[in-house]
Amino acid sequence: MRQPIILASQSPRRAKLLAEAGIVFEVVPSQHEEPVASAWPFGPAEYALAASYYKARAVADLRPDRVILAADTIVALDGRIYGKPMDVDDARRILRTLTGTTHEVITGVSLLDQSGERRRIDHAVTRITMRRMTDIELDAYLAGGEWQGKAGAYAIQESADMFVTRIEGSRTNVVGLPMELVLRVLSEFGLVQR
| Enzyme catalytic residues | 72
- Residue count of the chain: 194
CA distances for 133 relative to 35, 95, 140, 156, angstroms: 30, 9, 10, 14
Strands 164-168 and 102-113: unpaired
Q: Taking each helix axis as running N to C, give the angle between helix 88-98 and helix 135-144, from 0 to 180 degrees, rounded to the nearest 10.
A: 140
Q: What are phi and psi of 64, to 5 degrees?
A: -65, -15
Q: d(Cα 35, Cα 117) in Å, to the nearest integer?
A: 26
Q: What are phi and psi of 180, to 5 degrees?
A: -60, -45
DSSP 3-state of 96:
helix
DSSP-derived secondary structure letter, 162: G
Is 173:127 a contact under the CB 8 Å cutoff? no
